[in-house]
Amino acid sequence: MVKVIIYPTNSLILSDLVERFGHTPLAMMEKIKEKISTVGVDSPPLNITPEEPKMGLKYAAVEVPAGVRGRMAIVGPMIDEAEAGIIVNESPMAFGCMGCARTNELTKFLIRDRDIPVLEVDYPEDEDEAREFVYKIAEFLGSLSKDEKEGQE
Amino acid sequence: MNDDAVVKVALVSCGSEYAGVHGELESVAGSVNARLVYPEIDVSILDTIGKEFGIEAASPDLRLMMARAKAVVEGITDVDGVFITSCFRCAEAAIVRNEIRRYIHKYSDIPVISYSFTERTTAATLMTRMEALTTIARRRHLLAREHQSGLTAGIDSGSTTTKAVIMKDDRILGSGWVPTIKVIESATEAFELALKEAGVDREDIQALGTTGYGRFLVGEHFKAQLIQEEITVNSKGAVYLADKQKGSATVIDIGGMDNKAISVEDGIPGMFTMGGICAGASGRFLDMTAKRLGVDITELGSLAVKGMQEKVEMNSYCIVFGIQSLVNSLAKGSTPEDVAAAACHSVVEQIFEQQLQEVDVKEPLILVGGSSLIEGVPKALSELLKIKVLVPPNSHLIGAVGSALLASGYVEE
């Protein structure tokens, strides 16, 4: 089982695909769930406090807007933790969306910058492309299991 | 809408919930009896709104802002005011924020304010802005008042000076102007001076209005009928004193601690900005310059109009380094006149760079606040903006006059 960071970081479809292949998706939903169920923190709607943009300083300097750093406080540790990554480019909002283009740029850069296996695919525009899209992701996720087994041997 | 009604404020923002400031926004809204609402939109519009609005922003949250602004303008969401906010230092958001504000201003008469936040933004920082927004929504009838009637008083408890006026039927009977030391004591002193000059007793005053930083404290102490922030009061006071109550106007108030630029329509503030990052852009800088030049603050203006700012090198806006630049210039042989002119130019240049970037400059441009009495300031502002600057009589008493004018609405009540 490999920890896979997905982009868009809140894509339910990607997260589900990763899980179906027996890996652990690193996705925004889980982290937000952790945030909002943290007892003792009362900063609705996401329970993000002014502390998060400070934690985000690890990923972006103070000159970077607070909203980007606040998002990075959640996304950044997931990227650090990841053992593999899948980036889907040019996807529509319904597929997953972080809301902020600057955060998207930084997130993709940091995933690419890690020395881990990363698959980059474009969002499909027709049925044939969709099959190819799922096939590539499946192949990538399958190869991660193989690598892991070989590593264990 | 009565004073007790909850004001519905549409929050048009991108990412305030990720910056940790959302709680502060909710808190400030609650403190002025307002409720933040989120205009509902059809999610499919996010794919087309960029082209429709005219800005194809890369950030989906900015497109969400455009869609929400459209929902407000088209009346899909019924609100009394709009608060537009985005991250400080985001260029894309700054473009969208400004254009959304113009858009709402152009296609509706809903009051709008905008602000760019950092994680350090607190409810206290936003208080004056939110208070102004809700006042415009709640008290339009009061702001429609064009004449002062009855015997009323206004006290402006500013950060540097406290001003008071006694007015009767559009005439200023007496005024008081003292440095602010202890808020209540200074207000009492200014009020007593004004009462003495007017020849009336405190008991005879039919209604009192307070404004300025100390408005709550002073208002409660004197049991004022009206306690109001400076944006509303100064807009009204400026067009009243300048006799420009109808149509468009721009009001610039250079205060002792911060500046305000307000776009006014028929005496009601529309877009406005408040500065306060550096005291180098405030009246305090001029005060320090006067002290360094060894002249009284009242003489600084006449010195400045004789000087040429171009002859003095000013390479910092900071109040400390700015004064240092002036000291260096004096040491190199610059004349006090040139140094005074440079100080005035520095203050108005900062207003241009900080405040006027977000406010349309529509004539007449009315300059108010104590600094407007320093002749070099309106001169420098006029040169910089290439338009005529109007300084109405009693411009330094703007807050007190505006308060007395608005308070007269309570005489009839």
pLDDT tens digits, one per residue of B319-373: 777 788 888 888 888 899 998 898 888 888 888 887 787 677 889 999 998 889 8
Task: Give dist(CA A46, CA A99) in Å, integer.
Answer: 14
Torsion of CA B390, B393, B397, B398, to 10 degrees: -40
Instruction: Let me know: does B368 contact B395? Beta carbons within 8 Å.
Output: yes
Domain interval for residue B30: 7-138
pLDDT on residue B349: 86
Choose the closest CB to A53 out of B59, B60, B119. B119
| A interface test, pick of B95, B119, B121 with most A CB neighbours within 10 Å | B119
pLDDT at B393 over 80: yes
Smallest Cα–Cα separation from A84: which of A126, A147, A29, A31? Answer: A147
Cα Rg, chain A, nearest whole Å = 16
B113 plus B214 within the same structural domain: no
CA–CA dist A18, A4 (Å, integer): 7
| Contact (CB<8Å) B88/A66 | yes
- Write out pLDDT tens, residues B240-255: 999 999 888 999 998 8
Q: In the predicted model, what is the mean pLDDT of chain A?
A: 92
Q: What is the CATH number of the domain that holds B402?
A: 3.30.420.40
Domain boundary, last residue among B117, B138, B159: B138
CATH of the domain at B48: 3.40.50
- H helices present in B242-296, as ranges: 283-293
In a domain, B84, yes or no: yes
Looking at residue A43, what is its pLDDT? 73
- What's the pLDDT at A87? 98
In this structure, the strands spanning B248-254 and B171-179 are: unpaired
Instruction: Flag whether B82 is in a domain.
Output: yes
B121 and B92 assigned to the same domain:
yes
Phi, psi (rounded to 5 degrees) for B149: -135, 155
pTM: predicted TM-score of the whole model, two decimal places: 0.79
Domain edge (last residue) among B113, B138, B163: B138
Q: Which two tokens stand for residue B332?
A: 């190199």
Q: Which uninterrupted H or E stretch holds B233?
A: helix B230-241
ipTM: 0.90
- Calculate mean pLDDT across residues B272-295: 79
Percent of chain B whose predicted confidence (pLDDT) is above 70: 97
Q: What is the mean pLDDT of residues B202-225?
A: 95
Do both B15 and B60 map to the same domain?
yes
Please judge whether B18 and A94 are an interchain contact, meaning their C-beta atoms are less than 8 angstroms apart.
no
- Per-residue pLDDT, averaged over A88-107, amounts to 92
Lowest mean pLDDT among A130-144, B42-56, B119-133: B119-133
Residues B29 and B80 in one domain: yes
Query: Domain tally for chain B?
Result: 2
Q: Binning pLDDT at 50, 70 and 90, where does residue B315 land? A: low
Given this model, what pLDDT does residue B412 score? Answer: 64
Alpha-carbon separation of residue B114 from A73, B10, B19, B129, B395 (angstroms): 26, 12, 16, 9, 27
165-184 of B, contacting A, C-beta below 8 A:
none
Report yes or no: B309 and B380 within 8 Å, Cβ to Cβ: yes
Domains and CATH numbers, chain A: 3-152 (3.40.50)
pLDDT bin (cut points 50, 70, 90) of residue A70 is very high
Asked whether the predicted pLDDT for residue A34 surpasses 90, the reply is: no
Q: Is the pLDDT of residue B395 over 70?
A: yes
Asked if the C-beta of A106 comes within 8 angstroms of chain B's C-beta atoms, the answer is no
Q: Do B121 and B160 sit in the same domain of this protein?
A: no
- Domain termination residue (choose one: B112, B138, B164): B138
Residues B11 and B120 in one domain: yes
